[in-house]
Chain A
Amino acid sequence: MRRPLLGMLLVVAACGTIGSPLITSGEVYEFRDVERGDTIVFHWPRADLPVRIWVASDSPIRSYVETAIARWQAAFLYGEFRATLVTDSTIADVIVRNTPSDIGNGLNRRAPQCAGETDPNINPATNTARLPMHVFMYAVVSDAIPGLASCYAVTMTHEFGHVLGLLVHSPSLGDVMFADPRFDGISERDRLTAITLYSIAPTITLTGRR
């Protein structure tokens, strides 16, 4: 009697599968861009992880880059997006500068205290993204003005949402990917949208440095 009971205990304990929560369309916002009627989906392939980020070691925005990386990495359960800071800009996949954009055609955000812009460098004609990507974030007021630190935190997290592939802004003010974000963090909708993006096949492949 004891042996069958032991066997049953082992089997019952070992056969259960964890229940994954469903993601409904109402819980995510549109993250795909449309160019010339074609849908563009971009995310970093696992083979190219961790994404190599360069920001100057003495840059006043370096800590915000670290925070943005940590926030987005924490959104994922299976390491779909991972990034690391590198010291050499020539091997970086993403270059972050504390200056106004010298490219000017990226996804930009301007708040009263600071401005940000990300250029994913996507060419819809060839379905490629050419590395490195560029991110710019800079103060539009004096460093002494209250609210600059908060603006930097929100803006860099927003720009890194673009870096990881959220190419379209959220329509909701409660998300960091809202066009003029106020939310300092990653909302549940931001998180679910990001993991949904990484669960589908990208249409864009990387070219350039890799």
Chain B
Amino acid sequence: MTAACWRYCERWRRDLTAPLVRRHLRRMRRLLTAAMITVGTTPLAAQTGVQLTAGVTSSGILVTDGVLRTKLRPAIAPTIGIAIAIPTGKGPYRAVLAAHYSRSSLRVTDTDFGTTDDLGTLATIDALVMAEGPIAGALRWQFGGGAIFYRPSANQGVFLDGPTHRWLIAGGLTWSHPLSPHLHLVVDGRVDSHTFTTDVLVARHYAGAQGVQRFGLHAGVERTF
């Protein structure tokens, strides 16, 4: 009997006891372990906490110039973050105020010539207000919005007019594991989305804005109170 038949052949399931196959036991052990980690970990619901995290942020393309056949994109950036989570009531929800700082080189790729060049560094700071709620055990969702601030190392190119900011929406998952009664290991994965343009792009008749998605993966600690 195959595993698929064991799962779906109702008649067979009623009449017979499934043979104890070693790989079934292995799978069950894995599931049990995962369930214990997820359910057995103390959730952070309704606790005030302060988080410090570090990780990486991968940004999408800031400008795709279809005429000049050029793409502008920040390199994968090391990121540090701080967040304050405040319970919204007696339930399991929290309001999270978070900020992240990341910095990497700004890369331009000429698709016709096949060349890539670094145009200095680009720092970003995002400031987010998010709602957080439970999914299962220590796994929680986050969703909210805020602003992203671009800080180029030089006022040139698309950043000729200097720093700029854009509004963004963000969502993600966060998982925590207690290290001590008031200290938790936290791991979060987040995606945020905003539209990018600058004053000089508008002045030079670039229409609309470029949709930019960023993916972040951070790990750190949360101190609860």
Q: A residues bordering B, Cβ < 8 Å?
A: 6, 9-10, 12-23, 46-47, 49, 73-74, 76-79, 82, 195, 199, 201
Nearest 10 interchain pairs by C-beta: A19-B207, A20-B67, A21-B205, A16-B211, A18-B210, A14-B211, A14-B213, A13-B193, A79-B119, A14-B193
In whole angstroms, what is the CA distance A184 to B186 when docked?
58
Look across to chain A and name the residue whose beta carbon is closest to the beta carbon of B201.
A18
Q: Contact partner of B110 among A10, A21, A46, CB < 8 A?
A: A46
Q: Which residues of A contact B212 (CB under 8 A)?
A: 14
In whole angstroms, what is the CA distance A120 to B49 when docked?
65
In whole angstroms, what is the CA distance A79 to B65 when docked?
14
What 5 new A-B contacts, CB under 8 Å, besides A78-B68, A199-B69? A10-B213, A18-B64, A18-B206, A23-B67, A195-B68
Whether, in the assembled complex, B191 has its beta carbon less than 8 Å from a beta carbon of chain A, the answer is yes
Q: Which of A12, A49, A77 has the most CB of B within 10 A?
A: A77
Are the CB atoms of B171 and A199 closer together than 8 Å? no
Whether, in the assembled complex, B197 has its beta carbon less than 8 Å from a beta carbon of chain A, the answer is yes
Look across to chain B and name the residue whose beta carbon is closest to the beta carbon of A13.
B193
Are the CB atoms of B207 and A49 closer together than 8 Å? no
In whole angstroms, what is the CA distance A73 to B120 when docked?
14
Whether, in the assembled complex, B42 has its beta carbon less than 8 Å from a beta carbon of chain A, the answer is no
Q: Which residues of B contact A76 (CB under 8 A)?
A: 157
Report the minimum CB–CB distance from A4 to chain B (whole Å).
13
Describe B's contact surface by its main secondary structure: strand
A-B pairs under 8 A by CB, number = 99
Are the CB atoms of A20 and B60 closer together than 8 Å? no
Q: Contact partner of A19 among B157, B171, B200, B208, CB < 8 A?
A: B208
Whether, in the assembled complex, B112 has its beta carbon less than 8 Å from a beta carbon of chain A, the answer is yes
In whole angstroms, what is the CA distance A15 to B209 when docked?
10
Are the CB atoms of B113 and A201 closer together than 8 Å? yes
Q: Contact partner of B156 among A16, A17, A74, CB < 8 A?
A: A74
Are the CB atoms of B69 and A46 closer together than 8 Å? no
Report the minimum CB–CB distance from B76 to chain A (whole Å).
18
In whole angstroms, what is the CA distance A199 to B196 when docked?
23
Report the minimum CB–CB distance from A91 to chain B (whole Å).
21
Are the CB atoms of B115 and A199 closer together than 8 Å? no
Are the CB atoms of A46 and B115 closer together than 8 Å? yes
Are the CB atoms of B211 and A19 closer together than 8 Å? no
Q: Which residues of A contact B209 (CB under 8 A)?
A: 16, 18
Are the CB atoms of B207 and A18 closer together than 8 Å? yes
Look across to chain A and name the residue whose beta carbon is closest to the beta carbon of B70.
A78
In whole angstroms, what is the CA distance A16 to B62 when docked?
11
Are the CB atoms of A79 and B206 closer together than 8 Å? no
Q: Which residues of B contact A20 (CB under 8 A)?
A: 65-68, 206
Report the minimum CB–CB distance from B168 to chain A (whole Å).
8
Are the CB atoms of B117 and A79 closer together than 8 Å? yes
Whether, in the assembled complex, B63 has its beta carbon less than 8 Å from a beta carbon of chain A, the answer is yes
Q: Contact partner of A21 among B70, B169, B194, B204, CB < 8 A?
A: B204
Supposing A10-B213, A18-B210 touch, asked if A77 and B204 sit within 8 A by C-beta, the answer is yes
Are the CB atoms of B210 and A79 closer together than 8 Å? no
Look across to chain A and name the residue whose beta carbon is closest to the beta carbon of B197.
A18
Q: Which residues of B contact A74 (CB under 8 A)?
A: 156, 160
In whole angstroms, what is the CA distance A21 to B209 when docked?
13
Are the CB atoms of B60 and A77 closer together than 8 Å? no
Q: Which residues of B contact A14 (CB under 8 A)?
A: 60, 193, 211-213
Whether, in the assembled complex, B143 has its beta carbon less than 8 Å from a beta carbon of chain A, the answer is yes
Supposing A10-B171, A10-B193 touch, asked if A17 and B211 sit within 8 A by C-beta, the answer is yes
Are the CB atoms of B211 and A199 closer together than 8 Å? no
Supposing A13-B211, A16-B211 touch, asked if A77 and B67 sit within 8 A by C-beta, the answer is no
Are the CB atoms of A15 and B207 closer together than 8 Å? no
In whole angstroms, what is the CA distance A9 to B191 when docked?
12
Are the CB atoms of B206 and A21 closer together than 8 Å? yes
Mask, B152-165, CB within 8 Å of A = 1, is 00001110100000
Whether, in the assembled complex, B96 has its beta carbon less than 8 Å from a beta carbon of chain A, the answer is no
Sample 10 A-B pairs with CB under 8 A, ordered by A number: A10-B213, A13-B194, A16-B211, A18-B197, A46-B110, A78-B70, A78-B108, A79-B156, A82-B156, A201-B112
